[in-house]
Every structure is written in C-alpha cells, then in structure tokens.
Amino acid sequence: MKLLSGKLLLLEPNLLSQLQPALKVLHQLLTQQIKPTDRYGFDDASIRALLPPFPTGLDIEAIQQTVEPDLTFLEDLDSIDITQDKQLKKSSAARYAAKKVVKDSARTAGREFLDLPNYWLPDFLEAWKGDGSFQSGWGVLSIYRRNPKHTELAQISEL
C-alpha cells in the first residue's frame, strides 16, 4: 500500500488527498487495529460503515492509469536466432544455448512479474462506489465485483 500511495502522491496528489480517509481505514483493517464484533470478520455493511462516503467527482480512470503496472519488460524477452545460419541450426550446442537464454529470460521476467505490486485499487474504488462488495477477516480484505461474463453468455444463448 505504501508503494501505491507513493506513486499517487507523486503523480496525482489531489486524488490521493481524496483517498486518504479511506486508505487510513483500510490500513486499520489490514493491520487488525479495528477488531470485528464477531468471529467471521467484517461484512460489506460493517466495512462501508467504517469507510467515509465516496468522494464526489473522484476520477477512477485517472487513478487506474496512474497505478497501472508497467508490463513492457514482458515484451523484450531475450533470445538467440539460430535459424538464419545453417551451421548453427545443426549445432546441438547452439540449440541448447538458445533454449537456455530463452528459459533464463522467462525466469527473470517471471520474477519481475511476481515483484509487481498488486493492482487492487481500481477494483476497490469501483466496489466502494457501489459496483461490488467487501469482506474482511484476519487482516485480509476481499473485494467482490460482478463478472458480466455469465450474464452475457446467457443472453447470447437466448437469441
């Protein structure tokens, strides 16, 4: 959450100021400073009671663009092209080296991908706005959003 708020502070400080009260409540929920009244944690209504009202005029699209992760490192995976040279094409050492370079590059990209911060804020904002629900227990916040896939499939099959 610190990396996310730091990025928002640098790029969109006015949007961060609108989100600060809600982020403070989320921090208290996730660090379990606020204790639930029952053993099942917090349901949607109790989380919404803790959150301030949704700010009017909050630009979710701008926040989404600001916190969107940069995935360009996935486009430039290393490889060795051995198809142009007939001698290299026949060499088992060259084929092995080409496979090894691709494998190492994919492994590095995978590690970088796992190191990306979670992209949860736009879903949280949409749910907070009213297009979803929350649940929290044991320091974990779950955000539920409607997936229109099944509704669209049912409508298509009716035609």
Query: Torsion over CA of 61, 21, 50 and 116, rounded to 10 degrees?
Result: 50
Are the CB atoms for 102 and 96 separated by under 8 Å?
A: no
Dump pLDDT digits (tens) for 24-67: 999 999 899 998 888 889 999 999 999 999 998 888 888 888 77
Dump pLDDT digits (tens) for 62-91: 888 877 777 776 666 666 666 666 665 566
pTM: 0.66
Encode burial over 102-113: b for 16+ CB neighbours within 10 A, e otherwise: eeeeeeebeeee
